[in-house]
Structure 1
Amino acid sequence: MTVTTDVAQGAEPQCPECGTPVTGGGRYVAWCAACEWNVDPEVRDEESPGRIERMRRGLARRYGEQLFDELGAADRDGDRDRDTGSDGHDGGDGDGGRTDGAAAGRRPRRGAAGALATALALTVHGVTLAMLAVGVWLVVAGWGTSALPVLGGFLLLVAFVLRPRFDSLAKVEDRLPVLRRDDAPKLFALLDEVAASAGTTGVRAVVIDADTNASVSAYGIRQHRVLHLGLGLWQTLSPQERIALLGHEFGHYAHGDTRHSLVVGNAFRSLSTWRYALASEPADSLMGHFVNLVTALPRLLVEGVVVLLDQLTLRGSQRAEYLADSTAARAAGTEAAAGLMDRLLVSDGVTGELRREAVAARTRIGGARRDDPAEGLWERLAAHAASVPEHEYERLRRVAERRGHSVDSTHPPTHLRHRRLTGGERREALIVLDAPRAAEVDAELADARRVIAREVVRG
């Protein structure tokens, strides 16, 4: 049960475990900072993960801890090299941390695991290509003589479903605002500057939505980059935290995350299709038992390939996350990068606030402002995020450490990411987003903000 200080009006509430005055209260959880009583009162109703998922989570935590120690040692070695005037391991970019060498413009090394992952992914695509070739041969060679063309047609259909996919920006433009350089020159100049600080290039387009998230991905055969900017996150950040967010996302490209490359990413997508097609049928009939028996071997084979490809890319993906955090700190400064990490801890609350705004608009709760419920939506959201007190952030940090929280298993534990940012030498920002420039960028986003605000209140 969640406990708040509302139950003890008129007297300073005491911790029932150690007698220390409790922290928090009101609409926030009341908890004890001394003994951590009630620090995590939420009852979580989660399905028990399967054996493979449990192994994956355990390995992810272990990799996260190992990389935290390894990268911390590398940072300290880099600091010593800088202090003594040595060139260090990476040629010295003046960054103070040799693990962020991609910011100096060098292409990141893929490593043995990355090379094996790419080879395995190419094998997966090779199977698809082989099915295409055999399908064409069966159709051509057996045309009009046997049932071979039917089998060939089936193989062609499967190969078509498993083909590598190239995301299309045109489909996104039908439902979301998409900005290009001519639409928002100030925004794109800022993106180019942040990308350059990370040692990579900018984007061709910016997609605006209401998510409490952001990402950089690629679209089309030529793999042009696009920034997906979630206003649910962007609008709650300070100007410097926005620089940190952009630095982190561009850092993924600077440090070479094999998992999200075109070849490996499409292999995961093909394997996911295979897993769906070969999934076990309910064993409530003779036919169901027969199908499960026939598909058992290929299903196990596909599961094995998924697990192997996952393990080959998991450590590298977590390393890329740590280094993307370093890139964020390099661009925006340590304080802003750590602030961004805290903002992510309250993202669920921000998402809930957006839902409440939508419900209030539909039920006409809230008085006169409901005449135009979209007006001022983002300002209200920013005010909500700004009202979260420091003691709630501290509680959430401790909860994250207790739960071993991470965004997902491709991310290191959140508390380790925060500790790595705040535990080393503090960095000053390379890029400062001052008030006039931030206002210019906001002005270019104004139309998109109005469009998305209306979509939010419509539910």
Structure 2
Amino acid sequence: MTRDEETPGRVERLRRRLARRDGERLLAELTEGTDRTGLAGRTGLTEGAGASERTEPSDRTGPADRTGPADRTASAEPAGAPGRPARRGLAGRLATGLAVLVHGVTLALFLGGLWLVVAWWGRGFLPALGGIAIALAVLLRPRFRSLRKAAESGLVLRRPDAPRLFALLDEIAESVGTTGVVAVLIDADANASVSTYGIRQQRVLRLGLGLWEILPPQERVALLGHEFGHYAHGDTRRSLLVGNAFRSLDTWRYTLAPTPAENLMDTFVNLVTAPPRLLVDGLLVVLEHLTLRESQRAEYLADSAAARAAGTEAAAGLMDRLLITDGVVGELRRESVAARTRLGGARREDPADGLWERLAAHAASVPEREYDRLRRVAERRGHQVDSTHPPTHLRHRRLTRGSRVGARIVLAPARTEEVHAELAEARRSIARELVRG
């Protein structure tokens, strides 16, 4: 959902500019009901494009719609109905083709290098050149995220560790038309996301307590509904093929980046690498143009999923909470620094105790007038969660100016406490790690 951004470079600035431009255009089309990629205006959404569009029935039900526990309610007309991912348009197919080309270059490097090593072994410098080509191919190969490596920065929960939490995740995922996760990775970030890991592409929820702990129960449902919504409707950038193409091109940019010209050789190397560097930048720009609109559409669809699961009010409230995440990150840093620099005896209790409660109290103390100010600032400056998201104020506008929806899943206090209890040990562990720096 969120992530810290480095000082933007040329490509990053382009991404932000395109995201703001396309976000405004797409919102206008959604509001007018003219989105050609498949999302209708205020009353629902359609799958497909052009004359073949077909509206997904609005009365589709999941387990959250059936009569059951007291913390479930029937929903009004959904802001977007779950169903199959939208069919890819021409831009999506071109992006996939370009991704195949990028990976084809990697494969050609590997096969060409292997041929040079085998066919020319012992004859001149060609085998060495082949070895370099193989090394480059290995560096640029499509990669599968490793949950074991990701777990180094957090704590992993499996179903037996937190059955109530996983039951909630399954319920929310099914309510938006997809499936749940196999694990939950808990860390301290003001962030949340669902990603795939390993060759089997198993889904894992990354849950940052810096965001989770400042949200009221219904906004937590909205957060999870948004993240699962990406998989309910599809997103080209999240596909294994296109996602790895972006990573390969980023690796190329890093490999070909110019070095400070301290001597003639540095200048020569920079000149030699300039043409392929410009080609890689060009490919990145083209891939950005081809995928950004669909990615932004996927964000709007995910917001619809959040509203469908938790209600419009909670989904819009989540947008407001995103405006204060910078302050939340700053508060966590302040807590960490204070814990490591306190004078002996000045504070006898463990600084990790009550950290999340203090963070939640800090977020709850933000007055409504401050949110009003932040919304105005966000609209002027174009606040975005990151460079691929539509501007936050546009997402908030779409949620609040359309027809409002009731919550399919209402997180009752008793259930909230059960989930809270299952996260208690993770909360303590992450808090201790945070204050220790």
Alignment partner, residue 80 of structure 2: 100
Give the superposition deviation at 1:47.
7.2
Distance 1:169 1:401, change over 3 A: same
Instruction: Give the distance between the partners of 1:80 and 1:219, measured in 2 at CA.
Output: 30
Aligned equivalents of 1:254, 1:238: Cα separation in 2: 24
C-alpha separation in 2, matches of 1:122 and 1:408? 26
Q: Contact 1:360/1:366 (CA < 8 Å) preserved in 2?
A: no
Q: State the partner residue of 2:182.
A: 204
Structure 1 stretch 238-247 or stretch 150-159: which is displaced more?
150-159
Residue aligning to 1:148: 126
**Could you tell me how far apart the structure 2 residues matched to 1:456 and 1:80 are?**
42
For 1:139 and 1:49, the matched residues in 2 are separated by: 38
| Contact residue 310 and residue 410 of structure 2 kept, 8 A | yes
Distance 1:322 1:399 in 2: 21
Within 5 Å, which residues of 2 pair with 1:122-137? 122-137=100-115
- State the distance in 1 between where 2:9 and 2:120 align: 48
SS at match of 1:190: helix
Q: Give the Cα–Cα distance (whole angstroms) in 1 for the partners of residues 318 and 204 of structure 2.
A: 21
The corresponding residue for 2:407 is 429
**CA distance in structure 2 between the partners assigned to 1:59 and 1:280 by the alignment:** 26
- The Cα shift of 1:277 comes to 1.3
Task: Report the CA distance between 1:409 and its aligned residue.
Answer: 2.5
Query: Shift of the alpha carbon at 1:76?
Result: 4.6
Q: Does the 8 Å contact 2:187/2:209 carry over to 1?
A: yes
For 1:61, the aligned partner's letter is R
Shift of residue 140, structure 1, vs aligned partner: 1.1
- Superposition deviation, residue 424 in structure 1: 1.1
Q: Which runs of 5+ in 2 are unaligned?
A: 1-5, 34-39, 47-52, 61-75
Provide, for residues 275-304 of structure 1, a one-character-per-residue CA deviation record: whole Å limited to 9, x for no partner: 111112323422122112211211111111
Match of 2:292 among 314, 317, 320: 314
Residue matched to 2:64: none
- 2:21 maps to which residue? 62
**Cα distance in 1, alignment partners of residues 381 and 24 from structure 2:** 14
Q: Name the CA distance, whole Å, in 2 between partners of 1:285 and 1:276.
A: 21
| TM-score of the aligned structures, taking structure 1 as reference length | 0.84
Percent of residue pairs bearing the same amino acid type: 69
Deviation at 1:448, TM superposition (A): 0.4
What is the aligned partner in structure 2 of residue 89 from structure 1? 54
* 8 Å Cα contact 1:89/1:98 also seen in 2: no
In the alignment, does 2:71 pair up with 1:71? no
2:153 touches 2:187 (CA, 8 Å); kept in 1? no
Greater C-alpha radius of gyration = 1
Greater mean deviation of Cα atoms: 276-285 or 149-158: 276-285
Deviations 1:376-408 (A, max 9, x none): 111111111111110001100000001122122
Check conservation: 1:208, 1:448, Cα contact below 8 A.
yes
Distance 1:108 1:150, change over 3 A: same
Supply the AA of the counterpart residue of 1:139: V
Q: Displacement, 1:174?
A: 3.9
CA distance in 2 between partners of 1:414 and 1:380 (Å): 26
Consecutive unaligned residues of structure 1, counting only runs of 5 or more, are 1-45, 82-87
Q: How far apart in 1 are the matches of 2:352 and 2:379?
A: 37
Contact 2:44 2:58 in 1 (8 A): no
Cα displacement string for residues 112-158 of structure 1 (whole angstroms, at most 9, x for unaligned residues): 11111111011100000011111111111112233322111111111
Q: 1:382 to 1:47 in 2, by over 3 A?
A: closer
Task: Find the counterpart in structure 2 of residue 341 from structure 1.
Answer: 319
Asked if 1:388 is matched to 2:353, the reply is: no
Equivalent AA in structure 2 for residue 137 of structure 1: W
Instruction: Say yes or no: does 1:228 pair with 2:187.
Output: no
Q: Deviations over 1:306-353 (max 9, x none)?
A: 110111111111111111111101100011111111111111111111
